[in-house]
Amino acid sequence: MSKTWNLGTRSLSLEQTPLVMGILNTTPDSFSDGGKHFDPQVAIDVALQMQADGAAIIDVGGESTRPYSDPVGVDEELQRVIPVLDGLRGQLSIPISIDTSKSQVARAAIDAGAEIINDVTGLEGDPEMAGVATATGVGVCVMHMQGTPQTMQDQPSYANVVEEIYDYLMQRYQTCRQLGIQADRICLDPGIGFGKTHEHNLTLLQNTKRFCQLPAPLLIGHSRKGFIGKVLGDKQADRTAGTLGVSLAVAAAGAHVVRVHDVKPTVDALKLFQASR
């Protein structure tokens, strides 16, 4: 595996990992922070603060993918994300990832400065998405999801959750390569919480080292998700500390990127983790 993640215009070093990807949802209905960053200026200010707090990437999304969320159209998604990207142009020195499964949104976001496509459908939801990735030369993050956000939590089922998702990610990596996406532009994500039970999520996290054997960097997106409340025995509990615990566990196992809502506590915890290893 390459020691860098190539984004076309620049590369991110994977020597000191995990990198922290800050979540910036410009939606009214995301599961944890829906509505908080719906105003473009608020979202811009939050992104700049995440950069100051040590984020390596800002992941901007305009459509909620929480369980049973309603899909939005291309125009509405663009209205949510493009003003934020335009406002960050020239102010942000770290790369922006566009969290979308729509090729039109991805292309417009790249035109507005995004350098990574983060697609929860693994570049399968829109037949044009892989072509956008190939043509633009940006980085891509390919995620596993069983079903769709509208169906994924109905009855998630696997014979062997680790090996099935490992095989899926390997197959998608090979397909991306065949479609012309360079190996060092690809990042892989097992999709914590996307068509998995709480037990599936924990099993996947316990097997982070297995996923680090894939030929591309590994992203873990566990932040504030329901399994944390399940482990804590309180669905209403503040999940910040639980998220930090998982971040440190996957860091120890070799994960390359952690996608989180709370950037500063994560960056600080990882600094002390590295210093005291």
Please give the Cα distance from 138 to 19 (Å, whole number): 18
Question: Can you give the length of the chain in residues?
Answer: 277
Whether 259 is catalytic: yes
Tokens encoding 231: 């482990």
Please identify which residue in the block is written with the tokens 């105003």.
39
Q: What is the CA radius of gyration of the chain?
A: 17
Whether 225 is catalytic: yes
Tokens encoding 68: 């049973």
Dihedral angle of Cα 197, 202, 206, 211, to the nearest 10 degrees: 40
Query: Active-site residue among 80, 224, 225, 239?
Result: 225
Do residues 187 and 7 make contact, with C-beta atoms less than 8 angstroms apart? no
Q: What angle do CA 248, 257, 264 make, to 5 degrees?
A: 60
Signed CA dihedral, 35, 40, 45, 50: sign only: positive
Q: How many CB atoms lie within 10 A of CB 167?
A: 12
Query: Active-site residue among 172, 185, 224, 259?
Result: 259
What's the Cα-to-Cα distance from 228 to each of 2, 193, 242, 264, rounded to whole Å?
A: 32, 11, 6, 19
Active site residues: 225, 259
